[in-house]
Amino acid sequence: MTLEEAIAQRWDTRTKPQGSLGRLETLAADYCRTKNHPLPRLEAIGLYLFAADHGITEEAISLYPSAVTGQMLDNFRAGGAAVNVLAGLHQIQLHIVDAGVGRGTHNFARQPAMESDRLDAALQAGRMQAREAASLYDAVGIGEMGIGNTTSAAAILAALAGRSGSEVAGPGTGLSPDQVAHKAAVIDRALALHSLQRTHPKEILRCVGGLEIAQMTGFLLEASELRLPVMLDGFITTAAALLAQAMHPPSRAVMLFAHRSAEPAHQRMLQMLDAQPLLELDLRLGEGTGAILGLSLLRAAVLLYRDMASFTSASVSEAGPIH
């Protein structure tokens, strides 16, 4: 029996009409495929939250001062942020990764965001985090914090998809339409400065990326090697997913998509990844909050797949020709 046959047989012998658990059935099947196992375990779950500062905040593209990134790092450590509340509720272990707070990127409207060796170090650091994650957890989520990083994520999307600033810039934490237009102009300026349209993904990441985005990209590339399922969060984590897919297309197989963000260009990213997210709750916070809700659905799906009784074991009659 092939893996696909084993998955279909198990779902179809559980005590429910065939297919009636909808997306939860396909979600558990995706998990089995990633694990290459007909009845994989899903117990320990972790969330890796990558934080970094962004030089692009000099261009006045966020409502929040750059210092908020570090302040929120303290808030994560003290347990007061949204992600702490959700991780506690769903028994998901939170790992806070300082990917460059206080020593963030350069202002990419004026110069490349980072040097080549810094990019390589960030990619490698992300790979190390994934190796740790695979030793501790059956599945993980990733999230991020970095004032200014929707501008970086939007610039990455524009460069990868050959789009203009106005097609990718959104309100982020709550910009007005005029402020969004300014953000779009900053992105267009950077795309021209670095000659980024449709160039190599690693070069895009070096020129307009962020250190948390680079670490998440490395994390996904390594997770792909390790067959570790990774639940993506929103707009910024999905920019890392786009980069990982562009660098190594098979990495798409370990990615799960939690939700469609309220940030408008997230939809375009999801299409480029052929991804149907599980939730649509107008979230636009980041931190991994959406990823945790997605992981909670993943846990439910796998638990149903593993723990439901079969028609035989529960002595329930199966569907048959209508009599």
* Contacting residues toward its own copies, per CB under 8 A: 14-24, 60-65, 67-68, 71-72, 74-75, 78, 80-82, 85-86, 89-90, 173-174, 179, 262, 278-285, 289, 293, 296-297, 299-300, 303-304, 307-309, 313-320, 322-323
Min dist. Cβ of residue 101 to its own copies (A): 14
CA 181 to chain CA centroid, nearest Å? 26
H or E element that contains 301: helix 289-307
What minimum distance in Å lies between the beta carbon of 48 and its own copies?
A: 20
Alpha carbon distance 275, 293 (integer Å): 17
Report the residue number, 24 or 113, with the smaller CB distance to its own copies.
24
Asked if 213 contacts 236 with a C-beta cutoff of 8 angstroms, the reply is yes
Residue 14 DSSP SS3: strand
Minimum separation from the CB atom of position 306 to its own copies (A): 9
Q: Is 287 a catalytic residue?
A: yes
* Minimum CB distance to its own copies, residue 163 (Å): 24
Segments of the chain assigned E as strands: 45-52, 93-100, 139-145, 230-232, 255-257
- Which of 44/121 has CB closer to its own copies? 44
Instruction: Choose the catalytic residue: 59, 144, 287, 318.
Output: 287
Of the pair 61, 114, the CB lying nearest its own copies is at: 61
What b/e readout covers 173-204, taking b as 16+ CB neighbours within 10 angstroms?
A: eebeeebbebbbbbbbbbbeebebeeeebbbb
The residue (of 81 and 154) whose beta carbon lies closer to its own copies is 81
Catalytic residue list: 287
